[in-house]
Structure formats: structure tokens, C-alpha cells
Amino acid sequence: MLEDPGRRLDFRDVVGAFATGVTVVTTRIGTTYAGMTLNSFTSVSLDPLLVLISLAHGTRTLEMVRRCDRFAVNVLHRRQRDVALAFARPGAAFPEGHTVVDPAGYLVVMHSLAILRCQVFSIHAAGDHDLVVGEVVDFEGSGGEPLIFHRGAFGGLDADALVPRGRVIGLGGAGW
């Protein structure tokens, strides 16, 4: 059933109440690069290490992830709003100056807060998106403040919501 445009807008307004971080998902085949801003990212499993991303049909990044089976999830820093905007322009040329190919061959975004290097584990059709489950083959992270997306706007966390560098939530494997 085709949802009417008004109902789709209402739906976006309502789900926009859910604040997220912001990532750029990057992938490459040789010297052909693709990457897109994405907030539909979640961790899924600890054994094996799995994450999930949701990519709209027709995006170049989904097309290339399907072909090459590898991608990186780059979690953006609060100061990387310009990067989020650069990778959210459908049909635009690949943004120069933000990425580098690392020694493992992954295309990654420089100065990211965290990077998860993934191998495609499974792909599931879901309406006008595909849910891509990635097995994390390598990951790294640094301290710092995340970029936040909420109700269609970028922002940052208030100071009292920040976990100081080095403090870990969920010690002893007891939870989050």
C-alpha cells in the first residue's frame, strides 16, 4: 500500500523525537568511492560482533555495498556537521578531502569519533530500504563529543550528558 505524503511527514516528525548519533557509511571498489550520511545505525550482537544499517533503495552506497561486501561505519564528531552535510547530497559528486584509504583497504572518514570496519553478514529487504547486517572485523574509537541528530537538526550533547574519557558504562559485561 502506498502511504499518503501527509502521513509520511507525520511519521518522520514522530520518529524524529528519537535522538541519534550521526555516521557516514563508506565503501569502495578500487578507486570508485561511495559514502552516505546515515543515522539508522545500531549494534546488534556481541557474539559474533554484528551491527545494522538501513540503506534506501536507489542510493549509490547500497549499490556498492552489495557489490563489494565491505563497508566502514564512521561515527561523526560534534565538529563534523560539514561532513554530515557533504555526504547527504543525493547525486552529488563524492566529497573530496574527508576520507582516506587505510592500510586494510577500507575507505574511512578522517577525524571520526569511532570507526567500525565491517564485512557484509546478511541483507534483508524492508520496504523501500535494505537492512544490511555487518560483521565487525575491526574497530577503533577515541574520546570526544558526538554529533547528534534530533527532529531534523544537528546538535551536540549537554555537558552533563557526556561520559568522561575513560569511564565505561556496563562494567563486567552486565549490560549497556
Ligand X SMILES: Cc1cc2nc3c(=O)[nH]c(=O)nc-3n(C[C@H](O)[C@H](O)[C@H](O)COP(=O)(O)O)c2cc1C
Instruction: Give the DSSP H/E element, type plus range, for residue 63.
Output: helix 60-68
Residues from 88 through 107 that contact ligand X (CB under 6 A): 88-90
Considering only 38, 73, 75, 115, the residue that binds ligand X (CB under 6 A) is: 38
Q: Write out the E strands in the chain.
A: 20-21, 23-29, 32-38, 41-46, 49-56, 70-75, 99-101, 107-109, 114-126, 129-141, 148-150, 153-155
Considering only 26, 28, 33, 34, the residue that binds ligand X (CB under 6 A) is: 34
Whether the CB-CB separation of 59 and 128 falls below 8 Å is answered with: no
**Closer CB to ligand X, 34 or 113, in the complex:** 34
Q: Is 54 in the site for ligand X (CB under 6 A)?
A: yes
Helix, strand, coil percentages in the chain from 3-state DSSP, rounded to 5: 20, 45, 40
Considering only 26, 28, 33, 61, the residue that binds ligand X (CB under 6 A) is: 61
Question: CB 25 → ligand X: shortest distance, Å?
Answer: 8
Q: Is 139 in the site for ligand X (CB under 6 A)?
A: no
The three cell numbers locating residue 125:
529487504
> What size, in residues, is the chain?
176
Distance CA 81, CA 61 (A): 20
**Closer CB to ligand X, 80 or 121, in the complex:** 80
Choose the stretch contacting ligand X; rule: CB under 6 A; options: 69-77, 86-94, 99-107, 119-127: 86-94
Q: Which residues bind ligand X (CB under 6 A)?
A: 22, 34, 36-40, 54-56, 59-61, 84, 87-90, 149
